[in-house]
Structure 1
Amino acid sequence: MKTKCLSIFFFCSIALVLSNNPVFSQDSEWVTVNGIAPIENVTKNEARKMAIANARREAVEKVVGVDILSETMVINYHVSGDVIRTIPHGKVIGQEIIKEEIELIPAKDKGEAPYLAYKVTMRANVIKEKGQIDVFFRLEAELNRTVFKEGDLIEIRVTPSRDCYLSIFNILEDETAIILFPNRFKQNNFVKANTSFAFPDDMDRKRGITLEAFLGEGKEKVDEIIHILALKEPLHFNTAKFKEGIFGIYDGRSAMVNDLVKNIVGIPLSHRAEKFIQYRITK
């Protein structure tokens, strides 16, 4: 996505880091897991990212348990820049890849052919979340569409079931997290229950603020995520770290998804609701 304000545009990039916070070291657990992804109709690099995503999911299930429903946030339709939000009661906050290789997976049944797969062995640091989800605290959210042509305008609409403080992030396929709302023009992010909130709205558009689908140089398609976070209490994100995607030329130094996870994970499950909307941009 490219955010337009007064004809100024930006784009950005990111890398994954581990947490050195002592809180995480006390409440988290390192596990060693494998992730496998077939190299079928995808590139080697795409299969690698799929394997890493599968390993992260396996890590959370290993620490938290497989009896809990999983919610997975994956960028690029399991192809590129995979981001795992995984099980609501556990999050991956760090990882170390130990080994990666291509394996020939033998056929399981008669008549099936063996296939090549990308295999990743990794150590993952998983933190367990505490508390119970408030089942009555929900978000209804949608985009004006899920597939955009480059240059199309993207619109976000959100309706919370409870009074809340709303934050909206754009997660790029390289795992960069940019904050869209609140911003310097709209600092009050309180939204009443069952009220429809739109971004950008008519007032934003009058200021010249739009969300424009943007591919980036040399790309045929990209997949990104809109991450919507609703909290019962206000939380101010460090704008020196999480760059605002509203005004100015972005300098490429915003925080990562892992940084966002670390900001959120300490909030009790009963005090937050989240929604992830994936969309694709094509030529």
Structure 2
Amino acid sequence: MKSLLLFITSILLVIYNSKFCHSKEVWVEAEGEAAIAGITAEQARLLALQRARAAAIEKAAGVRVSSITLVTDARLSGEFIKAFSRGYITKEKCTWDKSIYQESPDKPAVFAYKVKLRAKVTIVEKDTKPGFLLEAKLNKSVFKSGEKVKIFLKPTENAYVAIFNWRADDKIALLFPNQYCTNNFIPEGVWFTFPPRDSGLVLRVKTLPGHKQDTEAIYVVAFNKDIGSSICFWDLFPSSIPLEVASFFSKYIQLPVEKAIEKILVYQVKQK
């Protein structure tokens, strides 16, 4: 069987009216800062932005926000991505600056990127069907560049799912359904594996050029059968068109997201 190779790091939903969704939209301001220490300048810039995004969502959601904005540990990137389980940024405006960071007098100073973010955040009051749950996991949480990824899902009710890749280049792309695997229905209580066995699809991860390590995530969305059967993810989010984070969520919130179950599975990719 012909095998199709999909690289996650180089690998979106239909537009529906959610007028009846209980949600609020607010503009908030937040800051983030990341030192260029052990990572590339590009990674530090993204890490600062991710810190600011997480703070903006927490502020909009009424969660206490830490006054510490400087990030020195790139592994926190995954935790910042998980903040999107509380809300969605649909617009963002950034003002950038640089600063000098020195951990202690006996250590050299390094540059740090600092961002002031003004973000439009949507907070949705979830209204999922009682008893409708989703188990989601990966075969590993830390991968070596070139290794295969497998995603495992099991809903407690008949469901339609979509799987997205939150990439290291800060873009989000649809992995499933796709032109090779169009049926995204999963029966209740049954483990579904992506890529499916005998599908000819292979999912491999790799670090971005010049990076020793990257943090990415699998973003899983599930709707119960009654709602999900009318959603055509493939038409709304063509996998050939990765979207910027705010652009992705500006489309995503037009779905009945109050009925959606979402799982964010963070993983790391390291050079061999």
Q: TM-score range by the shorter chain?
A: 0.7 to 0.9
What does 1:96-245 align with in structure 2 at a 5 Å threshold?
96-103=93-100, 118-132=113-127, 136-204=131-199, 208-215=200-207, 217-232=209-224, 233-234=227-228, 235-239=231-235, 241-243=237-239
Cα deviations by residue, 1:226-267 (Å, 9 ceiling, x for unpaired): 1111112222124474216xxxxxxxx433333332233244
Aligned to 2:68: none
**Aligned alpha-carbon RMSD (Å):** 3.8
Q: Measure the CA separation in 2 of the matches of 1:194 and 1:139.
A: 9
1:77 aligns with 2:65: no
Once the two structures are TM-superposed, the CA of residue 165 in structure 1 deviates from its matched residue by 0.5
Once the two structures are TM-superposed, the CA of residue 183 in structure 1 deviates from its matched residue by 2.2
Give secondary structure in 1 for the equivalent of 2:247.
helix
Amino acid corresponding to residue 213 of structure 1 in structure 2: V
Cα deviations by residue, 1:124-167 (Å, 9 ceiling, x for unpaired): 11122234455743321222222223332221111112321111
Amino acid corresponding to residue 65 of structure 1 in structure 2: G
1:54 aligns with 2:51: yes
Structure 1 residues 8 and 128: CA distance shift in structure 2, 3 A:
closer
Q: Measure the CA separation in 2 of the matches of 1:148 and 1:5.
A: 25
Return the TM-score normalized by structure 1: 0.70
CA contact (8 A) 2:177 2:234 kept: no
Once the two structures are TM-superposed, the CA of residue 118 in structure 1 deviates from its matched residue by 3.9
Return the TM-score normalized by structure 2: 0.73
Aligned to 2:250: 262
Amino acid corresponding to residue 120 of structure 1 in structure 2: V
Aligned to 2:268: 280
Q: Measure the CA separation in 2 of the matches of 1:39 and 1:92.
A: 25
Aligned to 1:247: none
Aligned to 2:69: none
Give secondary structure in 2 for the equivalent of 1:77.
helix
Q: How many residues align?
A: 248
CA contact (8 A) 1:134 1:270 kept: no
Q: Measure the CA separation in 1 of the matches of 2:146 and 2:106.
A: 44
CA contact (8 A) 2:178 2:239 kept: no
Once the two structures are TM-superposed, the CA of residue 103 in structure 1 deviates from its matched residue by 4.9
Name structure 1 gaps, 5 residues minimum. Answer: 15-22, 69-75, 245-252
Once the two structures are TM-superposed, the CA of residue 38 in structure 1 deviates from its matched residue by 4.9
Aligned to 2:28: 31
Q: Measure the CA separation in 2 of the matches of 1:142 and 1:243.
A: 22
Structure 1 residues 167 and 48: CA distance shift in structure 2, 3 A:
same
